[in-house]
Amino acid sequence: MPLCFAYGSNMDRMAMAAHCPQSKAVGRASLPRHRLIIMQEGYASVLRDPRQSVHGVLWDIALADMRALDHYEGVAQGLYRKVIQPVLREGGGSARALVYIGRGTQGGQARPGYLQGILAAAREWDLPEPYLRQLQALGTGMRLSGPKSMQGEAGKGEASENKTSQKSLAGEGPVKGVRARYSSPLGQRD
């Protein structure tokens, strides 16, 4: 089964359980020499940046789930394309993983609820605190700069009110009867 590095909405365990039910989380990982952006379309992507790293989650994707994941990411519509990139596993070692790269390279504003969902998932995964601050800055339109690789450790915790507010932003998800926690790249998840 292929490994996939998730840095946006696919870090969310509930969302992945809905559209990739046979896939399993492997653990935290990072994509070196890249930075996270919000595309003009309102969704996350990564761009090359030799001074930064993007933190996220490594998933072992079941082959039976690949079609649903590609559909979720809008591959056929050209919103995202799939590339294989080396990622660093938590605890050491590297792996080659599938990464969905967005078509947009220009900055944009996140769709309502989208960035909050990414932040909630990042907190659930206990991603480094400096990286969480970087994600929060995306929501304010600020860009944190500097050569830091955001490798610190974060404290665990998420306010239950945060989870409640995200669920209220959700609409019908990609699987009939399953509600999405926040907006997704394709209209069917908005």
Which residues share a beta bridge with 89? 29
Number of structural domains the chain divides into:
1
How far apart, in whole angstroms, are the C-alpha atoms of residue 130 and residue 116? 16
- Quick one: 93 exposed, middle or buried, by C-beta within 10 A (0-12, 13-18, 19+)? exposed
Q: What is the DSSP letter of 23?
A: -
Q: Given a cut of 70, is residue 154 above it in pLDDT?
A: no
C-alpha 162, offset from chain centre: 18
- Report pLDDT digits (tens) over 47-61: 999 999 999 999 999
- Report pLDDT digits (tens) over 100-147: 999 988 888 999 999 999 999 999 999 999 999 999 988 765 444 333
CB atoms within 10 A of CB 141: 10
**Mean pLDDT (the chain, rounded):** 79
Domain that holds residue 111: 3-189
Buried b (16+ CB within 10 A) or exposed e, 41-68: bbbbbbbebeebbbbbbbbebbeebbeb
CATH code, domain with 38? 3.10.490.10
